Chains A and B, each alone.
Chain A
Amino acid sequence: MKYVWLIVFFPFLGFLINGFFGRHFKREVVATIAACAIGLAFVCGIYTLFDLLKLPPHSRVVEVVYFDWIKAGKLSIPAGFLIDPLTMVMVLVVSGVSFLIHIYAGEYMEEDPGYVRFFVYLNLFVSMMLTLVMANNFLLMFVGWEGVGLCSYLLIGFWFEKDSASNAGKKAFIVNRVGDFGFLVGMFIIFSAFHTLNFREVFEKAPEMFTVGSTTITLATLCLFLGATGKSAQIPLYVWLPDAMEGPTPVSALIHAATMVTAGVYMMARCSVLYALAPFSLGVAGTIGALTAVFAASMALVQVDMKRVLAYSTISQIGYMVLGCGVGAFAAGIFHLMTHAFFKALLFLGAGSVSHALAGELDIRKMGGLYKKLPITHITFLSATLAISGIIPFAGFFSKDEILFETFIGHHYILYLLGIVGALMTAFYMFRLYFIAFHGESRVDPEVEKHIHEPSWRMALPLCVLGILSLIGGWIQLPFFHNLKILGGFLEPVFHHAHEIGGMEHGTEVGMWLEGALMALSLVVALMGICIAYNFYIKNPELPKRLAEKFVGLYTLLFNKYYIDELYQKIVVRPLYNLSLGLSYVVDQHIIDAAVNGTGKGMVYGSSLLRRVNTGYVQFYGLIMFIGAVVVLLVNIF
Chain B
Amino acid sequence: MHELNFPILSLITFFPLVGIILIAFTEREDEYLQKWIAFWTTLINFIISLPLFFYFKDTAKFQFVEKINWIPSFGISYHVGIDGISLLLVLLTTFLCPICIAACWSDIKDKVKEFLICFLFLEVSMIGVFCALDMFLFYIFWELMLIPMFLLILVWGAPARRRYAAIKFFLYTMAGSMMMLVGILVLYFYNAKVTGEYTFDLLKLMKLDLPFHLQYWLFLAFGIAFAIKVPMFPFHTWLPDAHTEAPTVGSVILAGVLLKMGTYGFVRFNLTLFPNASVYFMQLMAILAIIGIIYGAFMCLVQKDLKRLIAYSSVSHLGFVMLGVFALNMQGLSGGLIQMINHGLSTGALFLLVGMIYERRHTRLIAEFGGLAKPLPMFATLFMIVTLSSIGLPGLNGFIGEFLIMVGAFRAKWWFGVLAATGVILAAWYMLWMYQRVMFGKVTKKENLNIKDLVPREISLLVPLIVFIVWIGVHPNTFLSKMEPSIKQIVLKYEKINKKQVDMAGINILKIIKGERS
Q: Are A583 and B298 in contact, with the CB atoms below 8 A? A: yes
Closest chain A residue to B175, Cβ basis: A599
- Minimum CB–CB distance from B460 to chain A (whole Å) comes to 16
Interface string of A144-185 (1 = CB under 8 A from B): 011100100100010011010011001001100110110011
Q: Are A70 and B424 in contact, with the CB atoms below 8 A? A: no
B214 within 8 A of A: no
A593 within 8 A of B: yes
A613 within 8 A of B: no
Q: Are A166 and B440 in contact, with the CB atoms below 8 A? A: yes
Contacting residue for B491 out of A73, A577, A579, A593, CB 8 A: A73
Per the bound structure, the CA–CA distance linking A69 and B474 in Å amounts to: 7
Interface string of B302-313 (1 = CB under 8 A from A): 110000000000
B481 within 8 A of A: yes
Per the bound structure, the CA–CA distance linking A73 and B337 in Å amounts to: 14
- Interface size band for B: 35 or more
Residues of B within 8 A of A180 (CB): 424-425
- Given the known A-B contacts A70-B476, A160-B440, A592-B234, are A181 and B433 also in contact in the complex, defined by CB atoms under 8 Å? no
Q: Are B425 and A177 in contact, with the CB atoms below 8 A? A: yes
Residues of A within 8 A of B399 (CB): 146
Residues of B within 8 A of A181 (CB): 421-422, 424-425
B57 within 8 A of A: no
Contacting residue for A146 out of B394, B414, B429, CB 8 A: B394
Q: Are B481 and A191 in contact, with the CB atoms below 8 A? A: no
| B244-252, B400-408, B449-457 - the one binding chain A | B400-408
- Minimum CB–CB distance from B312 to chain A (whole Å) comes to 9
| B35-43, B326-334, B509-517 - the one binding chain A | B326-334
Q: Are B404 and A72 in contact, with the CB atoms below 8 A? A: yes
Q: Are B302 and A584 in contact, with the CB atoms below 8 A? A: yes
Per the bound structure, the CA–CA distance linking A596 and B168 in Å amounts to: 9
B301 within 8 A of A: yes
Q: Are B331 and A581 in contact, with the CB atoms below 8 A? A: no
Closest chain A residue to B420, Cβ basis: A184
A139 within 8 A of B: yes
Interface of A, helix, strand, loop or mixed by DSSP = helix
Residues of A within 8 A of B440 (CB): 157, 160-161, 163, 166
- Minimum CB–CB distance from A313 to chain B (whole Å) comes to 28
Per the bound structure, the CA–CA distance linking A74 and B439 in Å amounts to: 42
Interface string of B490-517 (1 = CB under 8 A from A): 0100000000000000000000000000
A441 within 8 A of B: no
Q: Are B329 and A73 in contact, with the CB atoms below 8 A? A: yes
Contacting residue for A580 out of B302, B476, B484, CB 8 A: B302
Residues of A within 8 A of B334 (CB): 72-73
- Given the known A-B contacts A593-B237, A596-B172, are A188 and B425 also in contact in the complex, defined by CB atoms under 8 Å? no
Per the bound structure, the CA–CA distance linking A189 and B335 in Å amounts to: 18
Q: Are B418 and A185 in contact, with the CB atoms below 8 A? A: yes
A71 within 8 A of B: yes
Closest chain B residue to A197, Cβ basis: B407
A143 within 8 A of B: yes
A588 within 8 A of B: yes
Number of residues on chain A facing chain B (CB within 8 A): 49
Q: Are A177 and B424 in contact, with the CB atoms below 8 A? A: yes
Q: Are B395 and A71 in contact, with the CB atoms below 8 A? A: no
Residues of A within 8 A of B442 (CB): 161
Per the bound structure, the CA–CA distance linking A70 and B299 in Å amounts to: 32
Residues of B within 8 A of A600 (CB): 168, 171
B238 within 8 A of A: yes
Q: Are A178 and B439 in contact, with the CB atoms below 8 A? A: no
- Minimum CB–CB distance from A400 to chain B (whole Å) comes to 34
B361 within 8 A of A: no
Contacting residue for A185 out of B303, B411, B421, B491, CB 8 A: B421
Q: Are B441 and A71 in contact, with the CB atoms below 8 A? A: no
Q: Are A73 and B425 in contact, with the CB atoms below 8 A? A: no
User: Which residues of chain B from 205 to 233 have any CB-CB distance to chain A below 8 Å in the complex?
Assistant: none
Interface string of B184-200 (1 = CB under 8 A from A): 00000000000000000
Q: By CB atoms of chain B within 10 A, which of A74, A145, A157, A166 has the most?
A: A166
- Given the known A-B contacts A174-B432, A596-B168, are A161 and B441 also in contact in the complex, defined by CB atoms under 8 Å? yes
B121 within 8 A of A: no
A569 within 8 A of B: no
Q: Are A146 and B393 in contact, with the CB atoms below 8 A? A: yes
- Given the known A-B contacts A181-B421, A596-B168, are A166 and B410 also in contact in the complex, defined by CB atoms under 8 Å? no
Contacting residue for B299 out of A187, A191, A576, A584, CB 8 A: A584
- Minimum CB–CB distance from A113 to chain B (whole Å) comes to 10
Per the bound structure, the CA–CA distance linking A328 and B517 in Å amounts to: 65
- Given the known A-B contacts A170-B432, A173-B428, A180-B424, are A584 and B298 also in contact in the complex, defined by CB atoms under 8 Å? yes
B417 within 8 A of A: yes
A215 within 8 A of B: no
Given contacts A70-B476, A174-B428, A177-B424, 13 further A-B contacts (CB under 8 A): A71-B480, A75-B330, A146-B393, A160-B439, A161-B440, A166-B436, A174-B425, A177-B425, A184-B403, A184-B406, A188-B407, A192-B414, A596-B238
Could you list which residues of chain B lie within 8 angstroms of chain A, going by C-beta atoms?
A: 168, 171-172, 234, 236-238, 295, 298-299, 301-303, 329-331, 334-335, 371, 373-374, 388, 393-395, 399-400, 403-404, 406-407, 410-411, 414, 417-418, 421-422, 424-425, 428-429, 432-433, 436, 439-442, 475-477, 480-481, 484, 487-488, 491
Across the A-B interface, the 7 shortest Cβ-Cβ residue pairs: A73-B330, A72-B334, A166-B440, A143-B394, A188-B410, A580-B298, A160-B440
